């Protein structure tokens, strides 16, 4: 009988988990049993996305389904610590008294937060930011706190700051370097990030050294810097990490000068039976604090145990993340340390964008090659730029096009097969193409087979484009169907509804689809019907098609309550209407917030309260602001010529006219607009889906700008227009967008996807090259003529009103799961771990 050997893995974090996954996938468990010892009380979870714990909970972060591996030859132990390693006996002593023998030992013990040796660091209220348990302790302490300080302005420090912001604390960040994220960003990138973060209300102290954590009665009361003191109730140390190499040191294994277990290019220590991977390892004397190098080490170790020749020679330290709603990315030689390197920089201080490419002469002598870069404010190009660094690809003749807002998509620059597309899982373009040739018919299948895009997700758009381009090159039809129920795109669905005159989802699915529909096709068809037919979204046969927010004409919040946003056209409002909003908020105990679109949002309404709130607002002369729908949201304006000494046109009147004209227009995605009365641009019109800026001769029209996940500046479509021409062009632009854009596609990516881009839009809208101008304007005129306020129409229909109860068979019973507390003299949600329940049924008097 063949003796089965044993691998013991110490540590069940992301890297330890990846090692076990790779071992199972590549057949290592055919020879070895695997025992995994995890010190934390829970199995491996996504530590990269730790901040989302407050929003999604621990289960959403878990990497292991049902806390067990499907391979029976893997034994997983949690809540147990390894206390000693005996290299001579090849045994590991555990904190529960057990001793486990091994044939191969893998150290994946990770790292520990570094806490600077400042006085007061042990006071109650001081924390580190590393585990879910750390976050639970921080959350508990924040319940009675108002101000928090994070010591450290690097990657982890800003993630910790984000956590404190989510907990409602007034947050300070203290960084001893002269800029934020000093390891990833240069001065320009750090300045751009600083503007973004300070704009969100955080207080940033750079070039600042912490001298003491100030306390009183054993608790934190503040932080003393060389420049002065900061009041604080909570202090979070996130000033770096240190490798957890204590077991290796005690066992006599070599460690690096700055810590970390010394390993060779196959991650083997000086003991041939012991390996080290992840943050506790020091290949080449360097410790890496990112997950991607750890994953590579795990793969290399499995390969070496199978007799392979895989090597870990250097790590890709590229990173992309969203910090406090700001996109940040750094890749390759971001600081231009390579001899002969040149920097190409695009900086837009007003728009909050900073983009830098580091280039050098290509070895072939033909053009330039990309060495690295930095992106702040818009990192949408990261997924395509980063692979170009390793591919040694020659850049286009005008490389600035890769980062300019109006530039072409960098994914169109062909990558060689050996280019690494997914750095987290080391997946090349060639591996992606091999998966398609092996039977994968879409990007989702490729991700399942190769793991490309399955970790941080930043390369998913590029993976999708590679798959679709590959199929197109082979002459295969690329399936862009809306969903499994319709073999049609959204644009094709628009056309069949228009041609056949359908008025219901049932008619559309019966004639052109199958099944009963899903969460993808139902809202899409509902949007098309709303634009073309103009019926109330809650009418018979249409209510069940809507997303949750549309179905209740209000925005669902995290605690199960709703927000209500009345329309404030152009941001202009009378004192009487302001008083009415204030009285409604006061009488119903609602939280009030001025939005970025110049109106007032009221949070905390229970479902059964919505009709009563609408009645008060409608009686005061207000209507729905459609904040819940994929529709026109707002037309923001400055005060313009009426009041401003710089204004050259009446921007407020035009903004009100445009907002009232396009209100309620259901579109593929939400639409925002702005009107500025002069070139000083106080209404930020160029960040909107359509924006209008006054000139001495009339109005300039800009289109396809977006805020949100990937900010894009709008581009000039036409200039010096009179008002009538301006409105006709906007009519055409919006209806052309509604007709041809994909589901949930905002105007910026829609224009970029058109053959010809902005020029194509100009041909259709301005030049009327297709002869559709009158038809598009007529369609908009029908929408304007058919508009009905959805709140008022609901109030007038008893059948629609009957739905607005928390429990359908107990209309007078409020939902006890929705609870509130008070912060800053306003109503806010009380923390609740329970799920949101919508229109559930209960029996009156039954146990709750």
Ordered strands of the 562-564 beta sheet = 555-556, 562-564, 600-605, 591-594
Are 358 and 334 in contact, with CB atoms under 8 Å apart? yes
Distance CA 441, CA 563 (A): 42
Are 405 and 347 in contact, with CB atoms under 8 Å apart? no
The answer to whether the annotation marks 424 as part of a ligand binding site is: no
Angle at 818 between CA 815 and CA 820, to 5 degrees: 140
Distance CA 797, CA 820 (A): 31
Measured CA distances, 738 to 89, 374, 614 (Å): 71, 35, 29
Ordered strands of the 671-676 beta sheet = 632-637, 671-676, 690-695, 698-703, 715-721
Angle at 765 between CA 762 and CA 770, to 5 degrees: 100
On the 0-12 / 13-18 / 19+ scale of CB atoms within 10 A, 183 is middle
Measured CA distances, 503 to 496, 506, 531, 537, 663 (Å): 11, 9, 11, 12, 21
Strands 353-361 and 319-323: unpaired
The answer to whether the annotation marks 678 as part of a ligand binding site is: yes
Are 736 and 766 in contact, with CB atoms under 8 Å apart? no
Distance CA 801, CA 794 (A): 6
The answer to whether the annotation marks 440 as part of a ligand binding site is: no
Ordered strands of the 203-205 beta sheet = 126-128, 234-237, 147-151, 170-174, 203-205
Closest by alpha carbon to 303, among 352, 335, 337, 268? Answer: 268
* CB proximity list for 446: less than 8 A, separation 6 or greater: 432, 435, 436, 440, 452, 463, 467
User: Helix crossing, 155-166 with 132-142: angle to 10°?
Assistant: 40
Are 701 and 721 in contact, with CB atoms under 8 Å apart? yes
Q: Residue 721 pairs with which residues in a beta bridge?
A: 699
Strands 368-376 and 353-361: antiparallel
Are 320 and 292 in contact, with CB atoms under 8 Å apart? no
Q: Residue 124 pairs with which residues in a beta bridge?
A: 219
DSSP state of 119: T
Q: Residue 242 pairs with which residues in a beta bridge?
A: 112
Distance CA 325, CA 202 (A): 13
Q: For residue 435, give both structure tokens.
A: 């998966």
Distance CA 791, CA 789 (A): 6
Measured from the Cβ of residue 829, the count of other Cβ atoms closer than 10 Å reads 18
CA 458 to chain centre: 10
* CB proximity list for 829: less than 8 A, separation 6 or greater: 557, 558, 559, 561, 604, 819, 820, 821
Measured CA distances, 242 to 115, 245, 253, 279, 281 (Å): 10, 9, 17, 8, 11
Distance CA 582, CA 749 (A): 39
Q: Mapped to the 3 state alphabet, what secondary structure does 633-646 carry?
A: EEEEECCHHHCCCC
The answer to whether the annotation marks 459 as part of a ligand binding site is: no
Closest by alpha carbon to 632, among 675, 597, 673, 599? Answer: 673
Task: Please give the radius of gyration of the chain, using alpha carbons only, rounded to the nearest integer.
Answer: 29
Query: Which residues participate in the annotated binding site for [4Fe-4S] cluster?
Result: 638, 644, 678, 682
Residues annotated within the binding site for siroheme are 682
Binding residues are 638, 644, 678, 682
């Amino acid at each position: 009988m063949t003796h089965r050997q044993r691998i013991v893995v110490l540590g069940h974090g992301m890297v330890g988990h990846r090692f076990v996954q790779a071992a199972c996938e590549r057949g290592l468990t055919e020879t070895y049993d695997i025992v995994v010892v995890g010190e934390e009380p829970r199995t491996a979870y996504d530590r990269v996305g730790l901040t989302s714990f407050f929003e999604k909970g621990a289960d959403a972060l878990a990497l292991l389904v049902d806390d067990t591996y499907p391979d029976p030859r893997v034994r997983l132990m949690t809540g147990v610590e390894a206390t000693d390693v005996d290299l001579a006996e090849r045994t590991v002593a555990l904190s529960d008294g057990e001793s486990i023998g091994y044939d191969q030992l893998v150290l994946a013990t990770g790292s520990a937060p570094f806490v600077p040796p400042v006085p007061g660091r042990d006071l109650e209220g001081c924390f580190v930011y590393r585990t879910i348990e750390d976050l639970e302790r921080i959350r508990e302490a924040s319940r009675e706190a108002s101000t928090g300080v994070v010591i450290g302005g690097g990657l982890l420090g800003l993630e910790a700051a984000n956590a404190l912001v989510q907990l409602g604390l007034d947050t300070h960040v203290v960084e001893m370097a002269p800029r934020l994220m000093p390891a990833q960003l240069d001065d320009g990138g750090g300045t751009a990030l600083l503007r973004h973060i300070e704009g969100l209300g955080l207080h940033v102290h750079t070039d600042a050294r912490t001298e003491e954590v100030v306390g009183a009665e054993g608790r934190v009361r503040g932080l003393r810097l060389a420049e002065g003191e900061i009041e604080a109730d909570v202090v979070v140390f996130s000033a770096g990490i240190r490798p957890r190499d204590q077991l290796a040191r005690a066992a006599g294994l070599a460690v690096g000068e700055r810590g970390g277990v010394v390993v060779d290019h196959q991650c083997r220590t000086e003991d041939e039976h012991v390996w080290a991977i992840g943050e506790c390892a020091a290949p080449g004397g360097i410790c890496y604090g990112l997950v991607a190098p750890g994953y590579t080490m795990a793969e290399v170790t499995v390969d070496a145990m199978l007799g392979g020749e895989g090597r870990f020679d250097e790590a890709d330290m590229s990173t992309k993340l969203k910090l406090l709603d700001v996109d940040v990315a750094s890749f390759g030689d971001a600081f231009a340390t390579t001899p002969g390197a040149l920097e190409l920089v695009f900086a837009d201080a007003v728009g909050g964008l900073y983009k830098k490419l580091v280039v050098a002469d290509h070895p072939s002598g033909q053009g330039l090659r990309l060495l690295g870069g930095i992106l702040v404010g818009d990192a949408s190009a990261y997924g395509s730029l980063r692979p170009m660094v390793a591919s040694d690809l020659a850049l286009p003749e005008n490389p600035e096009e890769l980062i300019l807002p109006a530039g072409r998509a960098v994914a169109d620059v062909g990558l060689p097969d050996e280019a690494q597309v997914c750095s987290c899982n080391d997946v090349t373009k060639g591996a992606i193409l091999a998966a398609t040739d092996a039977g994968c018919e879409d990007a989702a299948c490729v991700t399942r087979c190769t793991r490309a895009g399955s970790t941080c997700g930043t390369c998913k758009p590029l993976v999708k484009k590679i798959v679709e381009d590959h199929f197109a090159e082979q002459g295969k039809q690329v399936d862009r169907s809306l969903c499994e129920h319709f073999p049609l795109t959204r644009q094709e669905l628009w056309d069949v509804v228009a041609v056949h005159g359908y008025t219901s989802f049932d008619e559309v699915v019966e004639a052109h689809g199958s099944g009963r529909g899903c969460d993808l096709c139902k809202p899409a068809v509902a949007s098309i019907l709303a634009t073309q037919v103009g019926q109330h979204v809650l009418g018979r046969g249409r209510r069940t098609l809507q997303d949750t927010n549309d179905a209740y004409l209000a925005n669902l919040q995290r605690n199960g309550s709703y927000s209500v946003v009345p329309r404030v056209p152009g941001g202009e409002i009378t004192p009487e209407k302001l008083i009415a909003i204030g009285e409604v908020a006061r009488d119903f105990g609602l939280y009030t917030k001025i939005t970025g679109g110049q109106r007032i949002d009221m949070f905390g309404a229970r479902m059964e309260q919505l009709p009563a709130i609408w009645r008060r607002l409608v009686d005061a002369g207000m209507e729905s602001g459609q904040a819940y729908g994929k529709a026109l949201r707002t037309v923001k304006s400055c005060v313009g010529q009426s009041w401003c000494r710089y204004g050259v046109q009446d921007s407020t009147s035009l903004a009100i006219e445009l907002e009232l004209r396009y209100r309620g227009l259901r579109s593929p995605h939400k639409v925002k607009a702005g009107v500025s009365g002069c070139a000083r641009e106080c209404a930020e019109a160029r960040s909107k889906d359509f924006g209008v800026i006054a000139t001495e001769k009339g109005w300039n029209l800009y289109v396809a700008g977006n805020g949100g996940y990937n900010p894009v500046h709008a581009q000039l479509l036409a200039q010096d227009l009179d008002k009538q021409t301006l409105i006709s062009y906007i009519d055409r632009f919006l209806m052309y967008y509604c007709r041809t854009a994909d589901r949930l596609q905002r105007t910026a990516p829609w224009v970029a996807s058109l053959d010809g881009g902005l020029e194509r839009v100009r041909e259709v809208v301005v030049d009327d090259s297709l002869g559709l101008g009158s038809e598009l304007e007529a369609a908009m005129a029908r929408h304007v003529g058919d508009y009905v306020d959805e709140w008022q129409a609901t109030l007038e229909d008893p059948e629609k009103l009957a739905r607005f109860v928390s429990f359908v068979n107990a209309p007078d019973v409020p939902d006890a799961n929705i609870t509130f507390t008070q912060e800053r003299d306003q109503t806010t949600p009380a923390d609740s771990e329970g799920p949101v329940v919508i229109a559930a049924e209960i029996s009156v008097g039954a146990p709750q």
